[in-house]
Amino acid sequence: MADSLFLPLAAKSSNAHSSLFFRNCPSPSRLLPPKSSLLLHGGEKKISVLALSLYSRVSLPHRAALIRALDSDVPHPLHKGSVNFKNRKSYVEWDSLTAKFTGAANLPFLLLQLPQIILNTRNLMAGNKTALLAVPWLGMFTALLGNLSLLSYFAKKRETEAVVVQTLGVISTFVVISQLAIGEAMPLPQYVATSVVVAAGLILNFLNYYGMLNLTIWKFWEDFTTVGGLSVLPQIMWSTFVPNIPNSILPGSIAFVVAVASITLSHSGKLSEKGPKFIGAISGWTATLLFMWMPVSQMWTNFLNPDNIKGLSAISMLLAMLGNGLLIPRALFIRDLMWFTGSLWATLFYGYGNIVCMYLLETISREFFLAATVGLIAWIGMALWRDAAVYGYNSPLRSLKELVFGS
């Protein structure tokens, strides 16, 4: 499924987050200012409370608190308490490893997209433009919008590896869309508009990531992705069940009106205190829910037409499971509920879920199924156990409790 290659989705964290301060830092003490720069008060030589409080946040690892749905647009996760000093080294090591896992997810996601790009190239070179009609441009555009929304989410969090994953998703999906436009499988005006959105999205996210973007411009971009995501999500959900239900653009139209009205009320200050936070969280969550819906759509198709499962590639489903599975430890470690939910869902219901369907319909071997099952259970179990260990907990259930309810 070319329009569901980058399911991460779901997403995450931080410019003041300890993971970024400790990444590539051999010693946390390097983050402290020189002794000469600490303010002293009179003969008592007491370190300034301001200086100490400023640097103490980054000198020791901290327990990550939940990034609630309403706080998903906060630039970094909140932290409460501190990790057991004895576990500090393992905490820093696991922080670094989870970041590397996220970076490594680029490989399976890239391998998942390349076959479609290569196939489209061959068809274009052979003059077989009709073959490109098999790839729905609207589905690709939907995936692209999801990637852009999540790119903005992770860029605001300064979660570098996740930014790279989503950027790769945007670029590779846009390559496919460009091929469709060349093959006349996508209308030119829509392609031009898409190109403008992609170029603007990449530039704005790059500038925002490095703190070079005007806040007003960034807010406008966030409003755009919010309206787009909220409008597309219900429409895609409705379209999944067509022709069992009437074909209609009503769900998307209603969602569009609601989104525009909500943003207008938010800017006019007519919402409650939590209103703007809720609006700010919509973009990331709608993108996550959009990617989460893709496995549902695929399984519904499998249910209606079991023979279609034979057209799925077991390797592609395995790559989808691997790519999203690699994101789970990081999302759990930084307590990002949205990212964890999307990644776990995609791993279980898109990658592994389709592998189960293929096994039940006897299109893959028993050995392949068992290997995928054992590997998945072992990986998730390791992530839960290791996370609990670095935080000094006796049970992984406490990590999950913090993830869902906060510390």
Q: What is the pLDDT of residues 97-123, one digit of tens each?
A: 999 999 999 999 888 888 888 888 998
- Choose among 109, 91, 118: nearest CA to 21: 91
| Predicted pLDDT of residue 222 | 87
| Predicted pLDDT of residue 10 | 37
> Mean pLDDT lowest for which of 2-16, 146-160, 334-348, 352-366?
2-16
| Predicted pLDDT of residue 352 | 94
Q: What is the pLDDT of residues 57-107, one digit of tens each?
A: 333 344 444 444 445 445 444 444 445 544 688 889 999 999 999 999 999
Largest separation between any pair of C-alpha atoms in the chain:
84
Q: What is the pLDDT of residues 16-37, one digit of tens each?
A: 333 333 333 333 333 334 444 4
| Predicted pLDDT of residue 14 | 38
Is pLDDT larger for residue 377 or for residue 127? Answer: 377
CA distance 65 to 334: 8
Q: What is the pLDDT of residues 168-217, one digit of tens each?
A: 999 999 999 999 999 998 999 999 999 999 999 999 999 999 989 999 99
End-to-end CA distance of the chain: 38
CA distance 276 to 73: 10
> CA-CA distances (angstroms) from residue 213 to 197, 209, 270, 288?
17, 8, 27, 25
| Predicted pLDDT of residue 278 | 72
Enumerate residues 6+ apart whose C-beta is below 8 A from 124. 132, 179, 182, 183
